[in-house]
Amino acid sequence: MKYMVAVLQFLGTNCEYDVCYALEKIQEHYNIQYSLVWFKEQELPKNTSLVIIPGGFSYGDYLRSGAIARFAPIMKAVVSFAQKGGKVLGICNGFQILVESGLLPGALMLNHSHKFISTLSSLKVISHNNSFLRSYNEQNDIHLPIAHGQGCYFIDHENLKKMYDNEQILLTYNKNLNGSIDAIAGICNIQKNVFGLMPHPERAIEKELGSTDGLAMLRDIVC
């Protein structure tokens, strides 16, 4: 049986085809398939093993990034899937949607600079005790692009300590451009089956793009 990846599409999503292109490169060596899933669908494809919520500007980022998309019909199925242990990956706007949906803790706010940031970022692996970064070692450096205006991660100090205790902090920025607390770039839920990150692994899959670290990360997540 093939490993099925469901890639969601919302009004305003703009990275779904980049994700699919990356998955096609992984398909060359692994037995996977993917399906684009429109936000109005009520169910995920049968035998879905992983849901990816790509980046973009769902609903134009009106109100708050991800705040409207979390009410889309497909998100009820995604929440149910995650609560049953299914793997979910949220990239950039997908991360914001996961936070707004309550699948991940904390909040994503306006960058401290009040400016949109688009650059290649250097990241550090903080925890690999999960199914997303299992082939990495702690303190490994990864280079992935960031492109966001509301990527400043915040959570209160009491819950931040709990996240460290539970190894939910997965990635941090080596240079904290958006002002995130503790330079956090990626986190998971306490069950470690939902992963959200602001950087874009699907944009770092070929040398011409400046890094292939994203392809390695996605291969680790999918396979």
Give per-residue pLDDT as tens, 109-119: 999 999 999 99
Angle between the 213-222 and 16-27 helix axes, to the nearest 10 degrees?
A: 70
Distance CA(220)–CA(131), nearest Å, equals 8
Whether residue 154 is predicted with pLDDT greater than 90 in this model: the reply is yes
Whether residue 28 is predicted with pLDDT greater than 80 in this model: the reply is no
Enzyme catalytic residues = 92, 200, 202
Whole-model pTM: value is: 0.96
Give the CA angle between residues 122, 105, 123 to the nearest 5°: 5
The per-residue pLDDT for 115 is 97
Mean pLDDT of 193-217: 96
In this prediction, residue 1 has a pLDDT band, given cuts at 50, 70 and 90, of low
Residue type, position 20, single letter: C
The string of pLDDT tens digits covering residues 130-147 is 999 999 999 999 999 999
